[in-house]
Amino acid sequence: MLERRDRLQDELFVAGSLRELIPADHILVRVDKVLDLSWLRAAVSGCYDLEQGRPGIDPEAAVRLMLAGLLLGIVHDRKLLREAQVNLAIRWFCGYALHERVPDHSSLTRVRRRWGAERFLRIFERTVLQCVAAGLVKGELVHLDATLIRADVSWESLVKVHVEAVAEANADGKSEDDDPPSAGGPSTGGKAKRGKLKKISRTDPEARMATSHRKQRLEPSYKQLTAVDGAAGVVVDVDVVSGETHEGGALPEQLDRVEQRTGLPVATATGDKAHASAGNYAALEARGTRAVIPPQRLRPAPMPLERFKYDAAHDLVRCPQGRKLRRAGRYAKGRFHRARPADCRACALKARCVPKSMRARSVQIPDGYPALLRARRRHRRRLPEDRAAAASHRARVEGVHGEAKAQHGLRRAMRRGLWNVAIQVYLTAAVINLKRLARALLRLLLRPGALPRRLEALLDRLARTCERTLARPAVPATALR
């Protein structure tokens, strides 16, 4: 016998809640169980004039719409609102009944403008606190990494800049090539300025040309700095900077924010070669955090720096011939040590050691160099705990980046401007954390015999976290300073 469907469905009202029409394992149903936005209305009420004007969109509904879009991989507002018209799960998740009109897509744009990135950062922070309360964050191992996000601009919008500035500096018509080569080392003056042509986008000037690999072309990009806790892959910090910013310099600040946010000291931090600076090793040592960061490979110079012995007690360097190299000034991140010209002149290694343009060898010793040497020694020992931490780095933090890009649309920025990209990044990180929470809750539910007491304890901890968060100041977003 075959069933026959009546396609003329003239019922207008549904008996019962929309929830009953949505499968229990739907991602929005699962996330709804751990999502708490009851604090939001009070937090954003200062952005509205409560006396006059048209009533704005319900803050919780607006955020739920944005989160639903990211959870379902629909990142464009217009597309999301069109989908919300016909998608029961989105309607139920955001509180819109079947007969109600969903808001216009421009409402979400206005919400973002009105609230600013700070309030979206608080949404992300609350998910971190929920994860801490649920025991998903331990602070023992934190992985740090960065990823590029393609800016939402066209290739046609890119223009070359600095041409005028360089032309002005070279107004006398003299160029660098006009100068005769100097006889004794680098010239110090008298040269015309040679400018580097940089491309920026006219439509999004805050994006910068960057690439993640030297064999790939430069693209207008933003950079996301991410910290992921090693226990359950919870994102504990995100920040956004322009694409050309080097991520290494942000490491101490990132760890400060992680500790401040989670209330847990970071025992071990992993990173990649971009974090392998002497300053970072020294900063991690000073705060008592073990660094699992592979040191940069030394350049294969004829006489590399590692052949020079650094004496930290007397702050001097000895060359392979045992001669002293004394301090000879500073550069931005360290100091120069220079040999005596008389020593080098009489040395048999001079041809290999001293560049032709110089009379004596000079080396750069970055600040925190002893910590870098200790890190190198430790890296050579390849301790099992270091290898385990390094092995989980890729799965955890790069896994989060892959998840954000493949499932939540972070491959490309959806809007222009640093603050807009920051909002997208904060919400995407919040979505990933909510998924971790929902999965943890599901595991609790599936654990036989432990359900009532454990679930009660978890919900209790979540509620207490929410209360604590309301009384807590937000961590400032350095990207927005």
Q: What string of DSSP letters covers 424-474?
A: HHHHHHHHHHHHHHHHHHHHHHHSTT-HHHHHHHHHHHHHHHHHHHHTSPP
Nearest 5°: the CA angle 386, 387, 388 is: 90
- Interface with ligand SF4 in residues 162-191 (CB under 6 A): none
With helix as H, strand as E and coil as C, how does 173-236 read?
CCCHHHCCCCCCCCCCCCCCCCCCCEEEECCCCCCEEECCCCCCCCEEEEEEEEEEECCCCCEE
Of the CA atoms within 13 Å of residue 387, those in its CB half-sphere come to: 5
CB of 355 to ligand SF4, least distance (A): 11
Q: Show the binding pattern over residues 306-335: x = contacts ligand SF4 (CB under 6 A), - = does not.
A: -------------xxx-x------------
Nearer to ligand SF4, 321 or 478 (CB): 321
Q: How many residues bind ligand SF4 (CB under 6 A)?
A: 13
Nearer to ligand SF4, 148 or 354 (CB): 354
Name the pairing type of β-strands 290-292 and 334-338: unpaired
Give the residue from 69, 79, 234, 225 showing the smallest Cα distance to 147. Answer: 225
In the list 361, 401, 435, 436, the residue contacting ligand SF4 (rule: CB under 6 A) is 361
CB of 334 to ligand SF4, least distance (A): 18
Give the residue from 161, 159, 128, 169 showing the smallest Cα distance to 262. Answer: 128
- Interface with ligand SF4 in residues 201-230 (CB under 6 A): none
In the list 29, 349, 358, 373, the residue contacting ligand SF4 (rule: CB under 6 A) is 349
In the list 28, 70, 347, 479, the residue contacting ligand SF4 (rule: CB under 6 A) is 347
The stretch near ligand SF4 (CB under 6 A) out of 32-40, 97-105, 278-286, 353-361 is 353-361
Would you count residue 431 as binding ligand SF4 (CB under 6 A)? no
CB of 350 to ligand SF4, least distance (A): 4
CB of 324 to ligand SF4, least distance (A): 9
Residue 45 · residue 453 · CB < 8 Å: no
403's CB contacts (< 8 A; 6+ apart) are 432
Q: Taking the alpha carbons of 29, 30, 31, 34 in that order, is the dihedral positive or negative?
A: positive
Nearer to ligand SF4, 359 or 454 (CB): 359
Nearer to ligand SF4, 107 or 362 (CB): 362
Q: Taking the alpha carbons of 119, 124, 128, 133 in that order, is the dihedral positive or negative?
A: positive
Nearer to ligand SF4, 150 or 323 (CB): 323
In the list 132, 354, 400, 434, the residue contacting ligand SF4 (rule: CB under 6 A) is 354
Nearer to ligand SF4, 339 or 479 (CB): 339
Nearer to ligand SF4, 236 or 353 (CB): 353
**Token pair for 473:** 């100041």
Nearer to ligand SF4, 344 or 423 (CB): 344
List of residues contacting ligand SF4 (CB under 6 A): 319-321, 323, 339, 343-344, 347, 349-350, 353-354, 361
